[in-house]
A and B are shown apart, each in its own frame.
Chain A
Amino acid sequence: MIALASLTVLSPFIAAVVGMLLGLRLSRLLETRGVPGHRVLRNGPAVIAVVASALATLFALIVAVTLWLDPGPREGTLTLIPTGTLPIAVGLQVDGLAAVVGLMVCCVALAVQVYSIAYLAEDPRYSSYAAFVSLFTSAMLLVVFAGDLLLLYVGWEVMGVCSYFLIGHHWEDRANSRAAVKAFLVTRTGDVGFLFGIFVLGVGAGTFQIDEVLRRVGDLPDTTVLAATLLLLAGVAGKSAQFPLHTWLPDAMAGPTPISALIHAATMVAAGIYVVARLYPAFLAAPTALAVLGVMAAISMLGAALAALAQSDLKRVLAYSTISQLAYMAAGLAVGTRSGAVFHLLTHGAFKALLFLAAGCVIYVTGSNLLRDYGGLREAMPITFWSMTIGFAALVGLPPVSGFFSKDAIIEAALHAESGIPGPVATIVYLTLLVTVAVTAAYATRAWLMTFFGTARTAFTPREAPRLMSWPVGILAVPTAILGFFGLGASELRPHLGSAALSLLLAGAGGYGAYAVWRRDPALDPARVLGPVRTTFERGFHVDDVYDRVVVAPVRALARAVVGVDDRVIDRAVESSAGVTRAFGGLLRRPQNGNPQTYLTGLLAGMAVIVLAVVIFV
């Protein structure tokens, strides 16, 4: 079992190493051997990556099935690394949560790998791309299966750097490079908090092993748990792109579209929510932290949804929707429904991967990211259209697709929050959830209408994307559609009539509003009715500008100041010590003025003193 889990983690890792070193060589080998079949088969790095991903998926599936047949957590430790204090356990742990999320990660990764073959067919750096995607997958799987907090942190950070490389894959463009740096730095800022949270929790509990930590959480002082969970939340906010550390995610759209799918659906952003779910007992022991999480989620949810409403770039719409949907999960966790949140994590993984990959198809065909360049793609791209429709339906939460069930579970849970968070916070979260449903419907409808309906606004050849791209999209549509029904098995995940009706009503209102505006003139952007606030929404409430002023600029100024101080104060002090020495030497040189009389005076005076000393003391 644990061996299987470790194979799941290791196979993408090995693929990453092998693909990085030997991928191109394999391509050349396949080329010269003249392997029959599609040219895709001659793409060495892709072959390695896909095979590894498929293997990982297989292993994850076996793990999940085994665990389904015989529930109960399992763990295994390979070795303990001594550190001088608490040892680090190199070990994995598998339970239901891990198995399910792991399977989801593998599936999405596999879809992304396959999809990328076509999407990045002509890319000269495919080997590094595929290798980093594999490494990314492996890191996420490590987070999922890790049995030790510090091991989890390793995967957590490696994901950060993978996101850096992948977002900056097209580094020729400085904007991509900036986005990549931003993603890494913002998440790393959160990660520092996360690491400290691990310290607090681990040192408090006397071990870094997760199950042991959770078992001992009850015995810890409240302040320790609170401090630990709040610090962990910093990391969660960074990775899961929650306010106030969300700013990297929209910019991360600079990466290739499959990467967006991977980051948004399966890895990275999911990691934050997953970790909270994983350490949920600790969070339950600190309701204040959950309240903070709830407030964070409420702000992110609504703010991101409003921002999505005004975006002109399809991928940015989806990016903000991701922030918003992650906030749903965070809200779910805050109000006490772990299963609801994880359920939404899974359905979101499916439908967001679907949406991104489908958006990739659209971008591939139209050659543009901008909504205002699209239009009328419904006929030409049936697979994409229908898949994306299902995806948007899931995003909005329309029955019977998956998003409906998971959202409903969260909204219902928010109504009677059981996690111990203060009442007002729960109320705010609940209301925000409802409002966001409407706004979500509005922006989803807007994007959907502007992409597929009306007439084409720019010149491009409407056609379906290559099969390697459209098929993963089509296949992902299946879980998107049906995943929700799996929730029927658990009572707390079953839809509730009241909240379902309410949210449907709100969704309908939002959707209809967008439709009504769009119908007036299908050629124009419905976001125009937002009027003056549109710019504010589009720029994400200027949070970036604020950070520029408050963080980036002062740090830069400080850096310059430090260099100045180094040159002018510290180094000057060192160098002027030479001058001081010389001046001191000059002082001693004063008697050495070349006048022999002075010398002789000194000599005789010294002699007199010596003789005196001899006379007195001897």
Chain B
Amino acid sequence: MTGQEIVFVPLGVVAVGAALLVVTTKQMVHAALWLVVTLGALAGMYLVLTAEFVAWVQVLIYVGAVVVLLLFGIMLTRAPIGRSADLDSGNRWIALAVAVATAALLVTVVVQGFRTAYVPLKPGGGSAEAMGAGVFRTWVLPFEVLSVLLLAALIGAIVLSRSDIGPGPDPGSDTGPGSGGGSRRKGDG
């Protein structure tokens, strides 16, 4: 076992364990926090894999933004702080079966397919410089398209979360027509 592996394996264990807690914990806020751990561990793994820039973006966006957003969502939906009993739906056991099957399948396939493959790790492959060059040279067009997509998502999120706009003839009934209009606009974007 190489040094990298010695670092990588604990990170992986942490990531998987925290992910398991995300999907099993009885408290919603804890779930969000365990998610932070998972994502953080993933960032560590990226580092081990020499993808420094990705690792930092992971920390910034995921840990910084997404999880915060999720926490906001938890609060806005007035989710109970503390233990709640009914976070799992009725088909938990089926879900478990499917998940285990998926895991078994994926792991088997992966193991069979890459039994002898080794990753040559050389530092610098994922540096900010390399990334910047890649994004702004080779991948500049997808990058621009992505920015438009983000704009659309921005507008969509605004339209969706605001209740006072929409084509509904009766602004008083904010239910059916409002959501109908919103979803239509999202489709346009």
Contact = CB atoms under 8 A, between A and B. Distances in A.
Q: Are A and B bound to each other?
A: yes
A371 B78 CA distance: 110
B161 interface: no
A601 B105 contact: no
B111 to A, nearest CB: 12
Contact of A597 (B91, B101, B102, B109): B91
B98 A604 contact: yes
A602 to B, nearest CB: 9
B98 A615 contact: no
A455 interface: no
B121 interface: no
A598 to B, nearest CB: 6
A612 B108 CA distance: 10
Contacts of A612: 101, 105
Nearest to B108: A615
Contacts of B89: 595, 597
B101 A605 contact: yes
By size class, the interface of chain B is 10 to 19
Interface of A is mostly: helix
Interface string B121-160: 0000000000000000000000000000000000000000
Contact of B98 (A595, A608, A611): A608
B94 interface: yes
B81 interface: no
Interface residues of A, number: 10
A601 B95 contact: yes
Interface in A439-489: none
Contacts of A604: 98, 102
Contacts of B97: 605
A615 B95 contact: no
A608 B96 CA distance: 13
A612 B106 CA distance: 10
Interface in B50-86: none
A597 B89 CA distance: 9
B109 A615 contact: yes
Given A601-B91, A601-B94, A601-B95, A615 B105 contact: yes
A605 B105 CA distance: 12
Contacts of A597: 89, 91, 95
B23 to A, nearest CB: 13
B117 to A, nearest CB: 18
B98 A601 contact: yes
A611 B105 contact: yes
A605 B98 contact: yes
A595 B89 CA distance: 10
A604 B98 CA distance: 7
Nearest to B94: A601
A608 B105 contact: yes
Contacts of A608: 98, 101-102, 105
Nearest to A604: B98
Contact of A598 (B91, B108, B109): B91
Contacts of B109: 611, 615
Interface in A574-618: 595, 597-598, 601, 604-605, 608, 611-612, 615
Nearest to A607: B102
A612 B103 CA distance: 12
Contacts of A595: 89
Contacts of B91: 597-598, 601
Contacts of A615: 105, 108-109
A437 B105 CA distance: 109
A467 B135 CA distance: 132
A239 to B, nearest CB: 81
Nearest to B100: A608
Interface string B29-46: 000000000000000000
B92 to A, nearest CB: 10
A596 to B, nearest CB: 11
A597 B101 CA distance: 17
Q: Which of A598, A605, A608 has the most CB of B within 10 A?
A: A608
Given A595-B89, A597-B91, A612-B105, 15 more contacts: A597-B89, A598-B91, A601-B91, A601-B94, A601-B95, A601-B98, A605-B94, A605-B97, A605-B98, A608-B105, A611-B105, A611-B109, A615-B105, A615-B108, A615-B109
25 contacts: A595-B89, A597-B89, A597-B91, A597-B95, A598-B91, A601-B91, A601-B94, A601-B95, A601-B98, A604-B98, A604-B102, A605-B94, A605-B97, A605-B98, A605-B101, A608-B98, A608-B101, A608-B102, A608-B105, A611-B105, A611-B109, A612-B101, A612-B105, A615-B105, A615-B108
Would you list the 3 A-B pairs with minimal beta carbon distance, nearest first?
A608-B101, A605-B98, A604-B98
